[in-house]
Amino acid sequence: MYINLSESEKKALLIKESESLENYKSKGLKLDMSRGKPCKEQLDLSMGLLDVLNSSSSLNKAQDYRNYGIIDGISELKDIFCTLLEVEQSELIICGNSSLNIMYDTLQKAMQFGILGNKPLNQQGSIKWLCPVPGYDRHFAITEAFGIEMINVPMNSDGPDMDIIEEKIKDPSVKGIWCVPKYSNPQGIVYSDSVVKRLAKLKPAQSDFRIYWDNAYMIHSIVDDDVKLLNILKEAKKFGNEDMIYIFGSTSKITFAGGGVAFIASSVKNISSLKEKMSIQTIGYDKINQYAHFLYFKKANNILEHMKKHAAIIRPKFEAVLEILKTELASTGIANWNIPQGGYFISCDLFKNTAKRTIELAKSAGVIFTPAGSTFPYMQDPNDSNVRIAPTLPPISDLPIAMKVFCTAAKIAYLEQS
């Protein structure tokens, strides 16, 4: 434990670790651990998607998939997603290539037009949003762009702190919450049944409060036994609360990132209202890519099988990262991290006030991590402690050295300030 070291021991260790870092610097590394991107081998898994359609394919169905129309997506693919999500066709819209885009658009529509007859959020004065932290930087970027005041809600090991949420939603200016309920970004936490149930029966002060349920990693287990997340839409129905739920997801981390299909699921009322507004915005999404996805997978179960291949590729990468963290930092007492069962990240909490410096030092040796603070609204981690580690993109052979650089940097950052 570093905390027990004497001043002279610390000084000696700082010299040693700094020499290590200089040594790494001399290697001319260029490694990127910053974004949750699939790697080449994962993308290769879906190349068959490009074989299912050719010039002999029949796309001229009851409606011609090559022509305008069908704003909520083709029913064949909706069937598959309905099975995976346990929702009805009338509760689902399959959109374009990006769930982030749907989240942004859905919030923008609420800002501009209001929700189900409520006043536009733009006209409701100063409004607020609940942000479980650490969380997804791109979520926070959206609410920040719209000028919405973000309120940090601490994460527990089974989801966000529900006591705080139940208290905060009594404020009528609180209009929503970001959730990544399964294998959360970055901690890999799966919301417990109890948390999902408490969320589903929230009684917010105003009827235009929405849970933005970003189920980005709904079938993205990296272990054999996938965890079951409770269906929040079903739970919410028990309390007449189904209009409070928006569920988002995509195949970006199933097939191709940015070349997949994304969806929103919600109550029939919300979906009808969104379709009506969408029909001003577009004549329809890309049905050819939707149909290719249907032909490639045919049924929900085949997607689950496909996901096992992803897991087989990325599990060793998670293991490699965790192994180095354990070897290098477990005995130091200057860091804690989660051991995720799925998703795309490992969340590492470093000693207070050392995250920024650690990332800066790692960068000086050619290893890029997500900027410190990214996992918090306004990029402000109150403890300057959390670092999101994304193990999927780099080749597995690069991970040990990248993580050794990280650990060396974390040690130096601690020793410098202590």
Does the footprint of a second copy cover residue 98 (CB under 8 A)? Answer: yes
Positions in 221-280 near a second copy (CB under 8 A)? 252, 256-259, 277, 280
Rounded Cα–Cα distance for residues 90 and 116 (Å): 17
Instruction: Candidates 6, 54, 126, 397: give the one binding a second copy (CB under 8 A).
Output: 54
- Rounded to a whole number of angstroms, the minimum distance from the CB of residue 122 to a second copy is 6
Q: Give exposure, 86-104, as e/b (b: 16+ Cβ within 10 Å).
A: ebeeebbbbbbbbbbebbb
Does the footprint of a second copy cover residue 104 (CB under 8 A)? Answer: yes
Does the footprint of a second copy cover residue 61 (CB under 8 A)? Answer: no
Question: Is 231:88 a contact under the CB 8 Å cutoff?
Answer: no
Closer CB to a second copy, 11 or 66, in the complex: 66
Does the footprint of a second copy cover residue 284 (CB under 8 A)? Answer: yes
Question: Is 254:81 a contact under the CB 8 Å cutoff?
Answer: no
- Rounded to a whole number of angstroms, the minimum distance from the CB of residue 306 to a second copy is 14
For residue 48 the two structure tokens come to 């068959």
Nearest Cα to 176, choosing from 124, 212, 136?
A: 212
Site string for a second copy, 363-402 (x = CB under 8 A): ----------------------------------------
Does the footprint of a second copy cover residue 122 (CB under 8 A)? Answer: yes
Site string for a second copy, 138-167 (x = CB under 8 A): x--xx--xx---------------------
For residue 198 the two structure tokens come to 């408490």
CA 124 to chain centre: 29
Size (the chain), residues: 418
Across 137-261, where does the E strand assignment appear? 149-156, 159-160, 174-179, 210-214, 245-250
Evaluated on CA atoms 221, 225, 226, 230, the torsion sign reads: negative
Does the footprint of a second copy cover residue 352 (CB under 8 A)? Answer: no
Rounded Cα–Cα distance for residues 31 and 323 (Å): 18
**Interaction site with a second copy (CB under 8 A):** 35, 37-38, 40, 43, 46-48, 50-51, 53-57, 59-60, 64-69, 96-98, 100-101, 104-105, 108, 111-113, 122, 138, 141-142, 145-146, 252, 256-259, 277, 280-289
